[in-house]
Amino acid sequence: MPHTSIRCLLLAGPLLALALLGGCASTYTEPYAAEAAATVVGKVERRGKGMGWYRQTFVSEVDGAAIPPAGIQPGEVPVRVRPGRHKLGFTVGFRHGGSDELDCPCIASFSTEVELQAAQRIVLESSLDPQGVVRLRLIDKANGRPLLPELQAQARSARQR
């Protein structure tokens, strides 16, 4: 099965964490920031007509209370936030589409608000279907429940920015 590389960017204030290509997570965290941001890189597999979901977790750190490195699982990106409601912007980028009809590289942008808690682990799931619709889910890792309804946006060519 062919693989599709995905780059998800969570942009809401200063960029706090960087994930390197190939799935290795390397982080840079400022001493404090009120908003959360992270770069997420991963792969999905093409399954039938659509795309599979790519899952990535980020961990919120609150008021300088760092989560020990041993507590962060591979693929988790720590970000520093205050507990409470945060406006987050998401730009999901795909290097290759789910079908030959998509003009890739392509991106889709989202903007929403989400309630974040101290040391909360949030799973990000994203997918691109053959019609160019990008779907994004934010799920609380502790209870498996969605934090928000699924977000959807039409992908557009990254070359037209």
- Which residue, among 129, 127, 128, 150, has the nearest Cα to 138 in the 3D structure? 150
Tell whether pTM > 0.75: no
For each of the domains in the chain, give its residue range(s) and CATH number, in order of start.
3-160 (2.60.34)
User: Could you tell me which residue, 156 or 97, shows the higher pLDDT?
Assistant: 156
Beta strand pairing status for 54-61 and 76-80? parallel
> pLDDT tens for residues 6-60?
333 333 322 333 232 223 233 333 332 333 333 333 333 333 344 444 445 555 5
> pLDDT tens for residues 12-26?
322 333 232 223 233
CB atoms within 10 A of CB 18: 15
- CB–CB of 4/65 below 8 Å? no
Instruction: Tell the burial category of 94 from Cβ atoms under 10 Å away from its Cβ (0-12, 13-18, 19+).
Output: buried
Taking every pair of Cα atoms in the chain, the longest distance, rounded to a whole number of angstroms, is: 47
At 121 the pLDDT is 73
Q: Is 49 left (phi over 0), alpha (psi -120 to 50) or beta?
A: alpha
Question: Which residues are within 8 A (CB) of 1 and not within 5 positions of it... i.e. 6 or more apart?
Answer: 45, 46, 47
At 81 the three-state DSSP class reads coil
User: Could you tell me which residue, 86 or 62, shows the higher pLDDT?
Assistant: 86
Question: How far, in Å, are 76, 82, 98, 118 from residue 63 at the CA level?
Answer: 19, 6, 41, 9
